Amino acid sequence: MNNILENYLSYLNEGSVGTALIKNASIGIRGSLLWGIVITPAMWLSWRGLNSALGKASRKCGTFTNGPGRSVCIARERIKILQQKLVLANKIASQCSKAKDPNICKQKSEIEIEKIKNRIEINKQKIKEEVGESHELNEFISVAAIGGVAVMLGAGMVMDKALSLAWRSALAIFSQASRKCGIYQNGPERKICMSKFKLISLNKRMAILKQFESTCGKQKNPQKCQENIQKKIETLGKQIQIQKDNILIYGKEMETEKREKEFKEAQKES
C-alpha cells in the first residue's frame, strides 16, 4: 500500500498530462456546437473522447483485483482524464466572446469547469481515503475478552472491558453507515451522509483512545504504550480530516448541481 501512496504522490508531481489530445484541439476548421460556440472537429472529438475515456477508466486497472489497489488505480486514471478535460474546457471557454450569446456561454462553461474541478478533488479524496483505510485501526484494536478484560492483541496492552465494548460500538456505527444512508441514491447526498456517520464513529474512537492513553502508566511497557497510542491518534486524526474534507467537497458538488439545474430551468423559461 505504501507503493500505491508513493506512486500517487509521484503522479501529482508530474507535469502536464494528456498533451496529445489537447494538441489535437488546435487543428481543424469548423465543427460542432458546444456551449453556443462553433468549435473545431478536433476539439469536439477530443471532448467526446475524454467523456468516453472517463467511463472506461476501470479497464486500465484490470490487472488489479477488487480492493484498495484497484480503487486507487481507477481514481488516478480519472484524475488524469479530468485534468485533460479541464485544460480543454478552459480552452473552449476562452472563445465564449465569439458565441451567439457570450453570457450564456460563460455561465455554461463556468458550471462545466466547476463540475470537472469537483470531480478531480473527489477522486483525490478517494485515494486518500483508500490509502488511509488500508491502515485502519481495526488491526490495532483487535480485541478478545479474557477474564473480564480485553487484550489489545496487536500492541500487547490491556484495555478494560468497558472501553473495548465502547470501541466495538463505535466500529458498528462505521459499518452501519451504508445501510443508514440507503435512503439516498448514489450521489453527493449519500456521500455526505456516509461521511457524517463515519465522523461520528471516528470521533468516538478518538475519545476512547485518549481515555485509554491515560492508563499507559499501568501497562507493562508505559513508554511503548504511549508511543503506540500517539501513532494511532495521529492516524485517526488524518481519517477525521478526510471525512471533514469529503463533506466540504461533496457539499460543493451539490451546490454546483443545484446551480446547473437552476440554469437549465431558466433556459427553458426564456
Q: In this predicted structure, what is the pLDDT of residue 17? A: 36
Q: In this predicted structure, what is the pLDDT of residue 84? A: 92
Q: In this predicted structure, what is the pLDDT of residue 37? A: 67
47 confidence band (pLDDT: 50, 70, 90):
confident
Please determine, for residue 6, whether its predicted confidence score (pLDDT) is greater than 80.
no
Angle, CA of 57, 62 and 67, to the nearest 5°: 95
Q: In this predicted structure, what is the pLDDT of residue 13? A: 41
Share the mean pLDDT of the chain.
77
Q: In this predicted structure, what is the pLDDT of residue 139? A: 42
pTM of the model: 0.70
- Structure-model confidence comparison of residues 36 and 142, the more confident one: 36
For the ranges 54-58, 163-167, 176-180, 203-207, the maximum mean pLDDT occurs at 203-207
Q: In this predicted structure, what is the pLDDT of residue 42? A: 80
How many CA atoms, within 13 angstroms, populate the side-chain half-sphere of residue 164? 18
Rounded mean pLDDT, 34-63: 79
14 confidence band (pLDDT: 50, 70, 90):
very low
Please determine, for residue 133, whether its predicted confidence score (pLDDT) is greater than 70.
no
Three-class SS state of 149: strand
CA 182 – CA 161 distance, rounded (Å):
32
- Structure-model confidence comparison of residues 223 and 41, the more confident one: 223
User: In the 8-state DSSP scheme, what is residue 150?
Assistant: E
Residue 127 cell numbers, joined: 485515494
Q: What letter represents residue 173's amino acid?
A: I
Please determine, for residue 123, whether its predicted confidence score (pLDDT) is greater than 60.
yes
Instruction: Give tens-digit pLDDT for 183-195.
Output: 887 889 999 999 9
